[in-house]
Amino acid sequence: MSRNHFGDIKIFVEVARLGGFRAAAEHLKMAPASVSEAVQRFEDRLDVRLFERSTRSVVLTPLGESFFEKSLPAVKDLELAMRDIDDQKDQVSGVLRLSAPYSAGPFFLDELVARFASQHTNVDVEVIFDDKKVDLLNSGIDAAIRSSSFLEPDTHAIPVGPELNMCVVASQDYLQAKGTPLVPRDILHHDTICYAFGRGDKIAPWGFTGAEGAFTIQPKPRMVANDMRSLLNYAQHGLGLAYVYAEIAAPYIQNGSVTEVLAEHLMALPRYSLNYRSKKLMARRLRAFIDLARTGETQD
């Protein structure tokens, strides 16, 4: 396939993805007429119509829709391959784009990213904190730090960061008013403060262990937030039981603003995963970050 052919396919993909010639032209930094001509040239070469055009809209035909779905992954892989060639000419460079949940930053990721940026001064780093599931194909993100339940299918992952020790805490005022839970299932009769993955309808379950092994309980929350420090603040104000990372809760427990309960029933959660698309077409900057994440486990 010639460079011109690939260029026309890339233009077609951007028009289809963005829903119009003008939007694609702005994204590609081209003249709208050049974009329209490229798509027309490509349709003539294939002898099919890929778009239905009107003065108000541009809509994919059924053949265009099918071609777009099949060509998008290939175009993305080719773009990645060409960027990787540029990277490998000299040294680790470019922009490393990461997505991570809010809690990962202060927990371990901020230190890891700072160490990486110090070691690789030719790499710019973007960290986007977001708890939602990430589309690694279309988002422009190189890798996402997520729990195992949020991993993209047909991708690769390695464990990263420390083991996630958990605890259940509440204020003394709350415990005096509502009683202290003695076994995990007692929480079903308490006000609870729960962590949400991006949206309030995706509530994290609470994990415990007992004679029957590991199990989870899904409490009905009174309060929901997607930041663990907010959960702790609500617990300090006597609003219920909160299920949070033990490391984050430790200073609050030490100063007496909250009290830990059910400690003998808690289990550690699995470590985060560093999720990425491809081992074959991997930019050197991402490979360097993965290598540091792996070796960093023995440097703590």
**Is the Cβ–Cβ distance between 222 and 235 less than 8 Å?**
no
Among candidate residues 134, 116, 137, the one with its CA nearest the CA of residue 125: 116
pLDDT at 162: 84
Q: Residue 1 pLDDT more than 70?
A: no
pLDDT at 4: 59
HSE-up of residue 296 (Cα within 13 Å, Cβ side): 21
Q: Which residue stretches of the chain are H helix?
A: 3-18, 21-28, 32-46, 62-89, 104, 110-119, 172-178, 228-236, 246-254, 284-295
pLDDT tens-digit map of 15-64: 998 888 889 899 888 998 999 999 999 999 899 999 998 877 789 999 98
User: What does the pLDDT average to over 171-179?
Assistant: 97
Among candidate residues 64, 62, 83, the one with its CA nearest the CA of residue 15: 64
User: What does the pLDDT average to over 175-195?
Assistant: 96
31 vs 28: CA distance, rounded Å: 9
Average pLDDT over all residues of the chain: 86
Q: Residue 300 pLDDT more than 50?
A: no
**Is the Cβ–Cβ distance between 241 and 231 less than 8 Å?**
no
User: What does the pLDDT average to over 166-181?
Assistant: 97
Q: Residue 121 pLDDT more than 80?
A: yes
For the record, the structure tokens of 232 come out as: 């702790």
pTM over 0.85: no
Q: Residue 88 pLDDT more than 50?
A: yes
For the record, the structure tokens of 2 come out as: 């010639």
Domains and CATH numbers, the chain: 3-73 (1.10.10.10), 90-162+271-298 (3.40.190.10), 166-265 (3.40.190.10)
Buried/exposed 87-105: b ≥16 CB within 10 Å, e otherwise: beeeebbbebbbbbbbbbb
Among candidate residues 185, 89, 143, the one with its CA nearest the CA of residue 277: 143
User: What does the pLDDT average to over 84-103?
Assistant: 78
